[in-house]
Amino acid sequence: MIKVFGHKAPDTDSTGAPIIWAWYLNEVKGTPAQPVLLGAPNTEAAFVVAHWGLDMPEIISGVEAGAPVVIVDTNNPAELPEGINAADITAIIDHHKLVGGLETKGPIDITIRPLACTATIMHDLIGDDLARAPRGIKGAMLSCILSDTLEFRSPTTTAHDKAVCEKLAADLGVDIGELAAAMFEAKSDVSAFSDAELLRMDSKEYTVDGTALRVSVLETTAPKLVLDRKDSLMASMVDVAREDGADQVLLFVVDILNEEATLLVPNDLVKKIAEASFGCTVAGDTVVLPGIMSRKKQIIPALKV
């Protein structure tokens, strides 16, 4: 049985893409496969699984040496279980930059494309066999693309992602605006999470000019729900940074509907980073960055310490 999984702290793409690919392996290729998660899915991913009537994948804590796995939506060992290189990696499907560090025992199928969403790549790889997919699989694909593109608002969106998404919506008779609104509302319900959980929910580590930054993004249609907690979030950053071996946590609250991000500014280091990176002037403990939606395309390339 091949285990198919995405990255730790699973979002909609890292939850839906394993479900899609395990369906393809089981039903089209005749290869027994099981979608699994490397942690609890976020609230949007949980909504998507329930909305399309899918089974929530089991959460696993690690992989055994020699176990056959397919990795989707990442190629970064830091986002995968320890000892991933001891597993039998049989395929990788991803849309992130090549980080280096994953190794395979033999030649395998690796497909990385500069698209917004893993599910879009899977759509292309599955090809005509997608006609055999049940409604839930097509729905998961549709939801993954809406999630990763923020309903086509993110600058990572390509014309191909949009075209595939619109084709799926037409096929399923789904109103894209309604589905996206319901997904983003689910993602915006952060009431159940502690400050530390919010800071780690969608977070990646980068070292910029020698400074280890944990760059966290919260995409929401209700930024007020997060920003009302800014004092305790900023207090929690100190502990999260220390526990995770980072010098600083940066929290960008992305307002999906207004297409802007608010960066929390707890200290002079973040003030300096914000002004150097985004050409803004910080006066206070938050700064609004108009048009900033994508960590991959806009935040990481801009960061200066």
Shortest distance, position 136 Cβ to its own copies, whole Å: 28
Complex with its own copies: residue 7 or 230, whichever CB lies closer: 7
In the complex with its own copies, which residue's Cβ is closer, 90 or 262? 90
For residues 51 to 90, the per-residue mask of contacts with its own copies, x marking binding by CB under 8 A and - elsewhere, is --------------------------------------x-
| Residue number with CB closer to its own copies (103 or 231) | 103
To its own copies, the closest distance from the beta carbon of 300 in angstroms equals 10
Minimum distance between the CB of residue 34 and its own copies, rounded to whole angstroms?
22
Number of residues that bind its own copies (CB under 8 A): 24
- Please give the C-alpha separations between residue 267 and each of 263, 274, 292, in angstroms, as whole numbers: 12, 11, 21
Is residue 209 part of the contact set for its own copies (CB under 8 A)? no
In the complex, the smallest distance separating the C-beta of residue 108 from its own copies, rounded to whole angstroms, is: 6
- Please state the closest distance from residue 10 (CB atom) to its own copies, in A: 19
Nearer CB in complex with its own copies: 104/211: 104
User: What is the distance between the alpha carbons of residues 14 and 281, in angstroms, rounded to a whole number?
Assistant: 36
Give the nearer residue to its own copies in terms of CB position, either 115 or 137.
115
Q: Which is nearer to its own copies, 94 or 219 (CB)?
A: 94
What is the C-alpha to C-alpha distance for residues 287 and 277, in angstroms, rounded to an integer? 12
For its own copies, which is the closer residue by CB, 109 or 175?
Answer: 109
Strands 248-255 and 260-264: antiparallel
The contact mask relative to its own copies for 238-277 (x = CB under 8 A, - = no) is ----------------------------------------
Task: Report 168-187 residues binding its own copies (CB under 8 A).
Answer: none
- Closest contact distance (angstroms) between CB of 132 and its own copies is 22
Residues between 85 and 144 with contacts to its own copies, criterion CB under 8 A: 89, 92, 95-115
Give the Cα separation of 220 and 27 in Å (integer).
36
Pairing of strands 109-112, 203-208: unpaired
279 CB neighbour count, 10 Å cutoff:
9
Least separation in angstroms between residue 6's CB and its own copies is 15
CA distance 277 to 69: 39
**Minimum separation from the CB atom of position 183 to its own copies (A):** 23
C-beta of 157 vs 188, nearer to its own copies:
157
Q: 87: buried, middle or exposed (CB in 10 Å: 19+, 13-18, 0-12)?
A: buried
Contacting positions for its own copies (CB under 8 A): 89, 92, 95-115, 296
